[in-house]
Homo-oligomer: A and B are copies of this chain.
Amino acid sequence: MSDSNEFRFLKACRGEPVDKTPVWFMRQAGRYMKVYRDLKEKYTFLEMCKTPELACEVTMQPLGVLDIDAAIIFADILLPLEPMGTGLEFTAGDGPVIPRPVRDKQAVENLLPVNAEEQLGFVGDAIKLVRKEIDGKIPLIGFAGAPFTLCSYMIEGGKSRDFTTTKLMMYESTDVWNLLMDKVCTMLVDYLKMQVNAGAQALQIFDSWVGCLSPHDYQQYILPHLKRVFDSLKDFKVPIINFSTGTSTMLDLVKQAGGDVVSFDWRIEIDEARKILGANQPVQGNLDPVTLFAPLPIIRERVHDILRRAGPNGYIFNLGHGILQHTPVDHVKAVAEMVHEFKYE
């Protein structure tokens, strides 16, 4: 299919009728695939992200294996932190480390403005390469981390269990928090526009950790900033997916923040979520990634249950979070087929 209007993924993002339910998987390129692990033996994770040819190669890896309806550019949500000046390291096993965490006004003021075209141009170049390579077969999704999730890494200096330091900045130094969120949002709008200009046909904004907040805090400290990002990208006419986990009790607020598609995790039945969001709101999700380890009959039961509950319109099948490291490739493959073969009665 060369006419992007025909892509069932993009149609579902807009709530238009589709021939089959579109499906893709968060982290569909990654460690669960041998081709990825082989490449990873030769290059570091950051080298793979920053070398457009390698990022393109990894992005394309799942396409020959899985019958998926969208590709997503291989990159990391934390890449913009380097040009902002905090540093960024990936240590084996321990996940990301931010060597210079941002914990006070001075540190926020010291953050550098980012010129995405110049400083994150390798992501744009990778997008251009993939668009050429993919040859119009399926659309390509660009992405970035959401303001809260990025700020939480910047403040905590890495992963966190309780996000105490982040929440404390919100509560104790709300002006510093707002300044930090503001700087991150400005960077994000520029970075995402660069991705669209390079050829991204849809965007996903990952608010992976915002579910640690109460609805009250989400509304007060997150929503206005996140809304600004979504509002600023409206002119670009590409559908945007608002992804988060642990937010199933505040989907109404998540929807208020913006985005064409709301993507949520497995902690709510998808028909319940659609009731809260309204039948016309396109949605994405919500299979527990761990289910992919289960025997195929159990997976099929869960996939069919989700499809029936979701209904045929404005729905993109996906997991509630990324594919886990040791997931059997055959199971991921089987799920894509199950989704495409499913017939609504």
Using CB atoms and an 8 Å cutoff, list the residues of chain A in contact with chain B: 162-164, 167-168, 171-172, 211, 213-217, 246, 248-250, 266-269, 272, 288-291, 293-295, 298, 302, 305, 324, 326
Residue of chain B at shortest CB distance from A302: B216
Nearest CB of chain B from residue A279's CB, rounded to whole Å: 19
- Can you tell how many copies of this chain the complex includes? 2
Min CB–CB distance A97 → chain B (angstroms): 17
Asked if A290 contacts B164 (CB within 8 A), the reply is: yes
Decide if A267 touches B171 in the complex (CB within 8 Å).
no
Known: A171-B298, A295-B172. A290 touches B215 (CB 8 A): no
| A305–B248 CA distance with the chains assembled, in angstroms | 21
Report chain B residues within 8 Å CB of A269.
214-216
- What is the bound-complex CA distance between A211 and B245, given in angstroms? 12
Residues A324 and B164 in contact in the complex (CB < 8 Å), given A171-B291, A216-B269, A291-B171: yes
- Residues on B with C-beta less than 8 A from A214 are 266-267, 269, 288
Measured in the bound complex, the distance between the Cα atoms of B37 and A249 in whole Å is: 37
| New contact pairs (12) apart from A171-B294, A171-B295, A216-B269, CB-CB < 8 Å | A164-B290, A164-B324, A167-B288, A167-B290, A171-B291, A172-B293, A211-B267, A213-B288, A214-B267, A215-B268, A217-B288, A249-B249
In the complex, A136 Cα to B288 Cα: how many Å?
48
CB distance from A73 to the nearest CB of B (A): 25
| B168–A290 touching, CB < 8 Å | yes
Is there an interface contact between B249 and A168, defined as CB atoms closer than 8 Å?
A: no
**Chain B positions within 8 Å of A293 at CB level:** 164, 167-168, 171-172
Residues of chain B with a CB closer than 8 A to A268's CB: 215, 249
Tell me if B294 and A172 are in contact (CB < 8 A).
yes
Closest chain B CB from A131 CB (angstroms):
33
13 A–B pairs (Cβ distance < 8 Å), ordered by A: A162-B290, A163-B290, A164-B290, A164-B293, A167-B288, A167-B290, A167-B293, A168-B293, A172-B295, A172-B298, A216-B302, A249-B249, A249-B272
Q: Report how far A305 CA is from B217 CA in the complex, Å.
A: 12
Q: Which 7 A-B pairs have the closest CB atoms?
A: A171-B294, A214-B266, A249-B268, A248-B249, A167-B290, A249-B267, A171-B298
A198 to B216, CA, bound (A): 41
Among A164, A167, A249, A288, max chain B CB count under 10 A is at A249
Closest to A251 in B: B249
A267 CB contacts on chain B under 8 angstroms:
211, 214-215, 246, 249-250
B305 with A216: CB separation less than 8 A: yes
CA A248 to CA B217, docked complex, whole Å: 16
Nearest to A294 among chain B residues (CB) is: B171
CB distance from A112 to the nearest CB of B (A): 29
For A289, list chain B residues within 8 Å (CB). 162
- The minimal Cβ–Cβ distance linking A44 to chain B, given in whole angstroms, is 23
